[in-house]
Structure 1
Amino acid sequence: MLSCVGYAATAANAPLAPIAFERRDVGPDDVRIDIAYCGVCHSDLHQARNEWKNTIYPCVPGHEIVGRVAEVGSSVARFKKGDFVGVGCMVDSCRECTSCKEGLEQYCEVGFVGTYNGEDRQGRGITFGGYSSAVVVDQAFVLRAPDSLDPAAVAPLLCAGITTWSPLRKWKVGPGQRVGIVGLGGLGHMGVKFARALGAEVVLFTTSASKVEDGLRLGAHEVVLSKDPEAMAKESGRFDFILDAVSAKHDINEYLELLKRDGVLVQVGAPEEPLPVSVFSLIMKRRTFAGSLIGGIAETQEMLDFCGEHGITSDIEMIRMDEIEAAYERMLKSDVKYRFVIDMTSMPASA
């Protein structure tokens, strides 16, 4: 077994603290990765504090993992020691259902195995995530990361990046389209970057005047303050596609009204309360209101390759491992531009 040190929550009201635990030995199809950086996702906070009521303790969060290959199994040919690789939100799936066979493992009909707080399909217990020194993952769920990019800023691409990339690709966003991005946070800032790089005309919608300048810097052609009724009215019926990355309660119908006939609004933000939808917002213009969940392994690799070609990374703020609780509190206040990343050299040598 592989001895590891990680940061874990041991109860919903307990701060994360060092823990010693063991990973499985490297099997024929496995890759062992020495973790260099791990992004901090809002879902880490939800799981650590059992806000979704499904956390199994101890819980080692983290599913935006990058590092170097330290060891490969006897059947692994795609990776070698020293390769720069990543692991996202999944480490396994049934691999047999229609979704898995189509490369959409995130929609596995049995349920994908989460990188942490997931039940291992081989009966090896509950998975532990990237707030740790190393991880062992089946090669089918390991991704090749671009060596040309800042490795720390690559980490959030494994969740925030693919969550926004997948719907943009599914609905074929590109040149000649007017695309709206709602919200400028960890997800939204990646949506702006990707939509611009794909050749669309990009409009950012935000409630905060303080984000106008940053929205333009990140690639938006225009920024609209969504609290301004006149500004919103001017955008009515002008959009081919809108990506909504807001997780707070808001009026979705305001954005549906901005779509052209046959326009599509995709929700990737996850508000805690249901969003009431006016049916007439949909039927009068044959509009579509859809949702999207992360992305499959193949499209995650496609996204990473695209980022390497276009020099795209996440805007990040680096933290030490022992600063994670403070980072969580700042996340609750939306006080981060735009993703925290943990430097794993700050991980203690022992628990």
Structure 2
Amino acid sequence: MIKAYAASAPGAKLEPFEYDPGPLAHDDVEIDVESCGICHSDLSMLDNDWGFTQYPFVPGHEVIGVVNAVGDNVTSIQVGQRVGLGWHSAYCNTCGTCQSGDHNLCSKAEMTMGGRHGGFAEKVRAQASAVVPLPEGINPDSAGPLLCGGITVFNPLIQFGVKPTFKVGVIGIGGLGHIALQFLNAWGCEVTAFTRSTKEADELKKLGAHKVLNSSNAEELEAAEGRFDFILSTVNVKLDWNAYIATLAPKGRLHFVGATLEPLDINVFPLIMGQRSVSGSPVGSPATIRNMLDFASLHNIAPVTEYYSFEQINEALDRLRNGKPHYRIVLKR
């Protein structure tokens, strides 16, 4: 039996829960969970905001742990390895998308906490192809958020050919954005943080921003017209997107990784005349996650985290729900 924490209904408190995972599948591994990050996706699933959560529901998809067992067909992962498991826990591995290396776009990809029980548990299972060994130089205590928040902001750098000569803006300096500042700075870009509170300017510059722009100041936005080659939006709220598009240089791109649920109100004419683009992307493939972890290790990039024990899970979720954490929360044994 695997001991975990589960909710029995939308928005319910997590309670101790046990389940029988059955025999270990031939292509799977079992991981002893050492730590697991918490992000807003856990809350969205807990509250059934997206309409497909199954209960009892065990959240958790930023898992760091040590492999304790491997299936008969597994050769890429060894017992005793410290590994990470992110948003996806399995892929079909046979479709054209998987065959081209874009496993994260596989239409049959399985969520770590959807259709199976997630990482707020003593153990978790996943297909070996979805599990990534942790490289030397990565602090395992703080690494969990890299497997969701980190890869979400790193993946566009690869997918859309962001160059080190680019001027890049980041909208929303929270759980995702504060990691994006670090990656983009190390990537070589000129980095601007869009923020409504200039009180945090010194901290944002320490994280990697070269410039801080007060996005609530219309004059500052207007003065930035035509400046940015790439803008990364990490927020999940509606903003004046046309104002941000106006700050894009010709051929610039406004890219969404934050799940804004309201329709985008965008004027097409500025896109046409400036040959600008609007796009979005999910988490990355296992190969891109490996590249991200290597890059983070090389440049000493880590999420800023607060720690709670697994027994404090409801307290930690409440802190996240109320918008109080200083960037990221990690449950740790």
**Shorter-normalised TM range:** over 0.9
**C-alpha RMSD over aligned residues:** 1.4
- Residue in 1 that maps onto 2:56: 58
Partner of 2:117: helix, strand, or coil? coil
**1:98 aligns to 2:87 (yes or no):** no
Query: Would you say the 8 A contact 2:198–2:212 is kept in 1?
Result: no
Gaps of 5+ in 1: 119-126, 346-351
Q: Which moved more, 1:77-86 or 1:150-159?
A: 77-86
Partner of 1:117: 114
Give the length in aligned residue pairs. Answer: 333
Is 2:157 the counterpart of 1:159?
no
Alignment of 1:66-105 (within 5 A): 66-105=64-103
Which of 215, 218, 243 is matched with 2:232 structurally? 243
SS at match of 1:161: helix
Give the superposition deviation at 1:273: 1.5
Structure 1 residue 278: Cα displacement: 1.1
Do structure 1's residue 146 and structure 2's residue 144 form an aligned pair? no
Contact 2:2 2:122 in 1 (8 A): yes
**Hey, what's the Cα distance between the residues in 1 that align with 2:200 and 2:183?**
18
Distance, in Å, in 1 between the alignment partners of 2:270 and 2:326 is 33
* TM-aligned CA deviation for residue 250 of structure 1: 1.0
| Matching residue of 2:10 | 12
Cα deviations across residues 20-43 of structure 1 (Å, max 9, x unaligned)?
A: 112233333222210100000101
d(CA) in 2 for partners of 1:52, 1:77: 36
TM-score scaled to structure 2, two decimals?
Answer: 0.96
3-state DSSP of counterpart to 2:32: strand
Give the 3-state SS of the residue equivalent to 1:23 in structure 2: coil
Contact 1:174 1:195 in 2 (8 A): no
Query: Aligned partner of 2:34: which letter?
Result: A
Q: What are the within-5 Å matches in structure 2 for residues 181-196 of structure 1?
A: 181-196=170-185
Residue 89 of structure 1 aligns to which amino acid in structure 2? W
Paired with 2:232 and 2:43, the residues of 1 have a C-alpha distance of: 24
User: How far is 1:327 from its partner?
Assistant: 2.6
Post-superposition offset of 1:261: 0.5
In 2 relative to 1, CA 93–271 (structure 1 residues): closer, same or farther, beyond 3 Å?
Answer: same
Quote how far apart the aligned CAs of 1:128 are: 0.4
Per the alignment, in what secondary structure is the counterpart of residue 96 of structure 1? coil
Task: Report matched runs for 1:258-337 at 5 Å.
Answer: 258-337=247-326
Runs of 5+ unmatched residues, structure 2: none
Q: What letter is aligned with 2:328?
A: R
- Measured in 2, the distance between the counterparts of 1:309 and 1:225 equals 32
* TM-fit CA distance, 1:216: 0.6
Q: Distance in 2 between matches of 1:320 and 1:276?
A: 42
Closer, same or farther: CA 78–186 of 1 in aligned 2, 3 Å = same
Tell whether 2:19 aligns with 1:21.
yes
Once the two structures are superposed, what CA deviation does each residue of 1:243-296 show, in whole Å capped at 9, x if it has no partner? Answer: 111111211111111111101111011122222111123112010000111111
Worse-matched range after superposition: 68-77 or 31-40: 68-77
